[in-house]
């Protein structure tokens, strides 16, 4: 993978997929700047401590980022056991705000990778609702839209991963044509990270039991990180607007 000399920003860098992504990217020669609300446990080339749930803290974090960003890996997220508004703020509105704020620092050939989820696979069932949210430009406009169209707590994680996939689809080509910046999603299935237990709680024992036979095991975080690194690299220079399942074949079992 062609990553040497690139400056890559990774959110959620202090654990799980974000931490493994940062480790692999640095191993392949990239300069990695991490963003997280917790201190990192790995070596980085720069770190910004930030809460990604408000536009003010995001804007402050962006002011500390390098003038040139060759790739942005949006890994940070909270599980569906968190309050629905926080899930909306971090997993969708904050991610979108950060990405839009960083875009001006990204030269032609840069890459954005958003971490979605296999749980966002039913985005087509709510396509028009997700497109309407995507059209609500800005963090506050998004909050206003959601106040008028509330999302239930028990489905909020799935809903905002669906919304992220749809936003990636609708926004990727305009940015690729206008700026030469690619944007894609990866959609992991279950992953062995510190919040795996939250997902088991969120889905409930019946759903977990029904799906257990569909996969060999949960993924390891480095197995997702390798795909993120590939999409950040020049080897993926003609891939844009894709949602790539990285789930050990789980998605295929629903056909």
Residues 205-219, mean pLDDT to the nearest whole number: 79
DSSP for 136-170, written as a single string: S-SHHHHHHHHHHS---GGGHHHHHHHHHHHHHHH
Residue spans of alpha helices (H) in the chain: 16-27, 55-63, 84-88, 95-103, 127-135, 139-148, 156-179, 196-203, 205-211, 221-232
What does the pLDDT look like over 1-54, one tens digit per residue? 789 999 999 999 999 999 999 999 999 999 999 999 999 999 999 999 999 999
Model pTM?
Answer: 0.94
What does the pLDDT look like over 122-152, one tens digit per residue? 999 999 999 999 999 999 999 999 999 999 9
Give burial (CB, 10 Å; 0-12/13-18/19+) of 27: exposed
- Show the domains of the chain with their CATH numbers: 7-239 (3.40.50.720)
What does the pLDDT look like over 59-83, one tens digit per residue? 999 999 999 999 999 999 999 999 9
Instruction: Compute the mean pLDDT over every residue in the chain, rounded to the nearest whole number.
Output: 94
Specify the DSSP class assigned to residue 90: I
Token code pair at residue 236 = 């993926």
The phi and psi torsions of 238 (rounded to 5 degrees) equal: -115, 20
Token code pair at residue 12 = 């959620």
Q: Is 25 helix (H, G, I), strand (E, B) or coil?
A: helix
Q: State the pLDDT at residue 199.
A: 62
With the CA atoms of 32, 36, 39 and 42 taken in that order, what torsion angle do they form, in degrees rounded to the nearest 10? -30
Q: State the pLDDT at residue 193.
A: 80
pLDDT at 198 over 70: no
Q: How far is the C-alpha of 153 from the C-alpha of 202, rounded, in Å?
A: 10
Residues 6+ apart with CB under 8 A from 141: none
Q: State the pLDDT at residue 52.
A: 97
Q: State the pLDDT at residue 211.
A: 76
Q: State the pLDDT at residue 235.
A: 97
Residue 203 — very low, low, confident or very high, per pLDDT cuts 50/70/90?
low
Q: How far is the C-alpha of 168 from the C-alpha of 191, rounded, in Å?
A: 22
Q: How far apart are the first and last CA of the chain?
A: 32
159 flagged as catalytic: no
CA 211 vs CA 201, 206, 249: distances in Å? 14, 9, 12
CA 178 vs CA 108, 109, 114, 134, 182: distances in Å? 9, 12, 20, 19, 10
């Amino acid at each position: 993978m062609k990553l040497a000399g690139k400056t890559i920003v990774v959110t959620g860098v202090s654990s799980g997929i974000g931490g493994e992504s940062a480790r692999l990217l640095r191993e392949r020669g990239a300069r990695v700047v991490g963003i997280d609300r917790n201190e990192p446990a790995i070596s980085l080339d720069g770190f910004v401590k930030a809460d990604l749930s408000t536009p003010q803290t995001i804007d402050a974090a962006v002011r500390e980022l390098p003038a040139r960003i060759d790739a942005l890996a949006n890994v940070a997220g909270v599980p569906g056991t968190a309050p629905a508004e926080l899930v909306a703020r971090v997993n969708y509105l904050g991610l979108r705000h950060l990405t839009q704020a960083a875009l001006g620092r990204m030269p032609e050939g840069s890459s954005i990778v958003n971490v979605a989820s296999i749980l966002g696979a039913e985005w087509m069932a709510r396509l028009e609702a997700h497109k309407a949210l995507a059209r609500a430009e800005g963090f506050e406009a998004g909050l206003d839209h959601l106040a008028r169209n509330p999302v239930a707590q028990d489905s909020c994680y799935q809903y905002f991963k669906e919304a992220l996939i749809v936003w990636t689809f609708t926004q990727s080509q305009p940015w690729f044509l206008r700026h030469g910046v690619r944007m894609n999603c990866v959609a992991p299935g279950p992953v062995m990270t510190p919040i795996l237990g939250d997902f088991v709680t969120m889905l409930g024992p019946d759903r977990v039991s029904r799906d257990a036979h569909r996969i060999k095991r949960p993924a390891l975080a480095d197995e997702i990180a390798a795909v993120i690194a590939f999409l950040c690299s020049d080897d993926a220079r003609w891939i844009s607007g894709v949602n790539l399942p990285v789930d050990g074949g789980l998605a295929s079992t629903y056909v």
